[in-house]
Amino acid sequence: MNPFAGEVALGIDGQRHVAKLTLGALAELEAALEAGGLIALIQRFEEGRFSTRDVLAVVVAGLRGGGWRGEAADLMQAEIAPAEAARAAAQLLARAFALP
pLDDT tens readout for residues 58-99: 999 999 999 999 889 999 899 999 999 999 999 999 999 887
Specify whether the CB–CB gap between 21 and 65 falls below 8 A.
yes
Q: Which domain does 10 fall in, by range?
A: 3-96
The backbone torsions φ and ψ at residue 11, rounded to the nearest 5 degrees and listed phi first, read: -90, 125
Count of domains observed in the chain: 1
What pTM, to 2 d.p., does this model score? 0.90
57-69 burial, b for 16+ CB within 10 Å, e for fewer?
bbbbbbbbbbebe
Say which amino acid occupies 39: I
